[in-house]
Chains A and B, each alone.
Chain A
């Protein structure tokens, strides 16, 4: 009778609420969130009120702190402060868009492959491997040069080269979860394939996917910076990567035009990684009760 006499619990916390509770207690993760949110705030402010980053405002290569320029000027005399403010938006937007695209493709392909197995799995995994063995940056470069660089084409190119990892992870989760008894139980109440894939298996596969998605954002930001550095960014849009690329030849004369954008990229990606690690811990039930 013990099960009958036990007092009823409070309305239970959802898994998401539970994960958030864990996440909040994780200091590095909260630090990462703080850094990321401040970077995001700066970038949003900058893209609204930052001014024209291409405008030549002062003598070239003015060191930081001189003549009222906190970050100095670059080799053409453009304000680095303005560049930093405005240049974050394309980097972050492309990073986010590319991550969303790669997750969408990766989850769809991985889910179909893992759920149906057999020849569907074989076919989809061979396609995935095809994309996986291409050198990612090179492939993205080719895509960007084929279609003139713009925010859309760059996001697409990065998204297209990054999805195989997500697909493999999703497939692995689906392979594991589809064998579990609650999937059979869902079938036994008459649920169809679509419902079982997206409403039964996917919610249970989400924790590792969310972690991976977060880290994907970081990688996508690095990709965008890399492409811009190589001069394959949108030439009409100032971005952190482009600032480093444009100033790299003068690094021995002036360290600041490459260092500050580099730091901005580093801080953003670092904060995203901290968040990803924090989420990983938050979703790990083995760490819950500590």
Chain B
């Protein structure tokens, strides 16, 4: 089966006050139809830039695609004319944003905003678009859709707004849905509902999902495969189970260590293990040196880590780490 989305060696640069920085440095991702790919990493590691690059929405300038390719169903998107990209956006690729509070236009009724998305891509009447908007509101589980279709965004809760955003994103039955931290701004209980909804939609429409998040719990729940990103690179990539069970990159291990494990028995004895944390923060991109970007925060780092950036190696479950490569080599010999 040919992949639905094939991102290869994508490089994105931004002109900043500190000179040109590389926001994405050779990112490769593959996504089969109907599959869910989780993209994890801390803030500033390039997750959202990857999403925007796939949508063709990197602001240029200051951004620039310095190399690589993005193929949707075999069609090259980098360098494709804006007209073509406009057709694909919304119709073949839907996107959900992080902040449901600000991603809906405040001056229009939500029903009109959904209808707008339909009218942009399909040759239907206004009435028909409104009827479909109503159906979509029902699909995404908005209660009382007949009333809510005429509501303004500020009259809806965060969860309902995110449902409306999802309705807009799936209004033209896209093949790919990009969800950029869709639950970060929501209450925990609502987060679970939104994830359920996304999974439900995925089952019904067979849409492939790129789920961008920094929440390993969400990955465990949703993703088939995972790409862990750090400072503009994919540092570990593979099936979700494999990565969650045996994370190979120290950064991935750190991320997983940050999930609080709630064991009722231990909690009752007040002996929960302390939460792990990764010391330090993602380095500013303009300060990235030669070696592995994670070396300064890595407790296991050795000399070579500070000198040479490790390549992403391995089939199936790929890792970019010298230590892992060394361990794998010694195992084989």
Chain A residues with CB under 8 Å of chain B are 1-4, 6-9, 11-12, 14-15, 118, 180-182, 184-192, 200, 203-204
Kindly specify which of B65-73, B95-103, B221-229, B257-265 makes contact with the partner chain.
B95-103
Of A7, A118, A190, A200, which is within 8 A of B87 by CB? A190
Q: List 24 A-B contacts (CB under 8 A).
A: A1-B189, A3-B143, A9-B151, A11-B147, A12-B152, A15-B106, A15-B107, A15-B152, A181-B99, A181-B102, A184-B57, A184-B97, A185-B168, A188-B89, A188-B90, A188-B94, A188-B97, A189-B94, A189-B168, A189-B171, A190-B86, A190-B91, A192-B86, A204-B105
Bound Cα distance A187, B85 (Å): 10
Residue of A nearest to B150 (CB): A11
B87 touches A3 (CB 8 A): no
Chain B residues with CB under 8 Å of chain A are 55, 57, 61, 82, 86-91, 94-95, 97-99, 102-109, 116-117, 120-121, 141, 143-144, 147-148, 150-152, 155, 157, 159-160, 165, 168-169, 171, 189-190
A187 touches B87 (CB 8 A): no
Of A15, A188, A204, which is within 8 A of B57 by CB? A188
Bound Cα distance A3, B158 (Å): 9
Other A-B pairs, 20, CB within 8 Å; known A3-B159, A190-B120: A1-B189, A8-B147, A9-B155, A14-B109, A14-B152, A180-B102, A181-B103, A182-B103, A184-B103, A185-B103, A185-B104, A188-B57, A188-B90, A189-B90, A189-B116, A190-B91, A190-B117, A190-B121, A191-B86, A192-B86
Residue of B nearest to A193 (CB): B82
Of A4, A6, A185, A204, which is within 8 A of B165 by CB? A185
Of A1, A2, A180, A188, which is within 8 A of B95 by CB? A188
Of B89, B108, B109, B121, which is within 8 A of A187 by CB? B89
B91 touches A182 (CB 8 A): no
* Closest chain B CB from A61 CB (angstroms): 56
B107 touches A181 (CB 8 A): no
Bound Cα distance A162, B44 (Å): 45
Bound Cα distance A189, B157 (Å): 22
CB neighbours of A181 from chain B (8 A): 97-99, 102-103
Of B94, B120, B144, which is within 8 A of A191 by CB? B120
Bound Cα distance A7, B169 (Å): 26
Given contacts A15-B107, A190-B120, A203-B108, contact A9 B57 (CB under 8 A): no
Of A3, A12, A118, A184, which is within 8 A of B155 by CB? A12
A3 touches B160 (CB 8 A): yes
A204 touches B106 (CB 8 A): yes
B90 touches A4 (CB 8 A): no
CB neighbours of A188 from chain B (8 A): 55, 57, 89-90, 94-95, 97, 169
CB neighbours of B61 from chain A (8 A): 118
B107 touches A12 (CB 8 A): no
CB neighbours of A182 from chain B (8 A): 102-106
* Closest chain A CB from B234 CB (angstroms): 23
CB neighbours of A186 from chain B (8 A): 105
B143 touches A190 (CB 8 A): no
9 interchain residue pairs of minimum CB distance: A189-B90, A190-B90, A8-B147, A8-B144, A190-B89, A188-B95, A189-B117, A181-B102, A181-B103
Of B88, B116, B168, B190, which is within 8 A of A3 by CB? B190
Bound Cα distance A12, B111 (Å): 12
Bound Cα distance A86, B86 (Å): 55
Residue of A nearest to B165 (CB): A185
